[in-house]
Every structure is written in structure tokens, then in C-alpha cells.
Structure 1
Amino acid sequence: MEVGQSVRVYRLRDRVSPVIAKKLGEVGVIQDYKMTDGSGVGFLVKFADNSAIWFFEDEVQPAPGN
């Protein structure tokens, strides 16, 4: 996945705050990459409400139409 690509949050690995849990199923745009602990890569995703949250790469998938 690349910066600028639309993605949908389709799962959450861990328990999260209600604010983040509400993003499940929402579509946002990848703004940047984030190195996670170990060798994984995460994504900073910006949503229509201008919030930006990072997710592990296995928590997002390309949005329909991408």
C-alpha cells in the first residue's frame, strides 16, 4: 500500500479506545508510514473528520475502487 491510497479499517488487533473502535469499517487515506516494533510497517491514516490514527498493516485493506 502507498501514501495517498484509500484504505478501509477492517480489524483491530488489540483493545482500543472507543474513539479508535469507531473507525472500524471506515475509509481513510494513508498519509505516512510508521515503523512498528520489530520489522513491521504501519500506516498513518487520515479520515474525513480530519483525525489521523496509525494502524498495523494487517488492520487495513485497500478500499473498494482502489
Structure 2
Amino acid sequence: MEIGQTVRVRRLRDRAPANVIGCLGKTGVIQGYKMVDGSGVGVVVKFEDKFATWFFEDELEPVNA
């Protein structure tokens, strides 16, 4: 996964707030990376409505433009 790549949220690993659950199935653009749980790396995704949050890579799938 690369910065600037378009991705779709395909699933969520853990419980999440309603605004994150609302992202399921939506597409967004990768804005950057975030260190999570000491060793993993999350991906920060920004959506058309300007909302941005992070996901694990296995929660996302690339979208062919």
C-alpha cells in the first residue's frame, strides 16, 4: 500500500465507533502511515467527506482506478 493509492474498506478487525463503521465499503486515499500496537503499521485513509482515520492493511483492498 502506497501513499496516494485509492483503497476500499472491506472489513474491520475490532469494535469501532459508528463513524468508523460507516466507512465500510467506502473508498478513500491513503494519506500516510501510523505505528500501532508497538510493532504493526496502520494506514491513514482520507475519505471524500474529509474524514480521516487509520486501518490495518488487511482491512483494506486496492481499488483499480
- TM-score tier after normalising by the smaller chain length: over 0.9
* Structure 2 partner of 1:39: 39
Structure 1 residues 19-38: aligned runs within 5 Å:
19-38=19-38
Consecutive unaligned residues of structure 1, counting only runs of 5 or more, are none
Residue in 2 aligned with 1:14?
A: 14
Of Structure 1 and Structure 2, the greater strand share is in 2
Classify the secondary structure of the residue corresponding to 1:19.
Answer: helix
RMSD, matched Cα: 1.0
> Does 2:60 match 1:51?
no
Quote the sequence identity (%).
60
The aligned length equals 65
SS in 2 for 1:54: strand
| TM-score relative to the length of structure 1 | 0.91
TM-score (norm 2): 0.92
Could you report, residue by residue, the CA deviation over 1:14-50 in whole angstroms, capped at 9, with x for unpaired residues?
Answer: 1111111010000000000111113221100000000
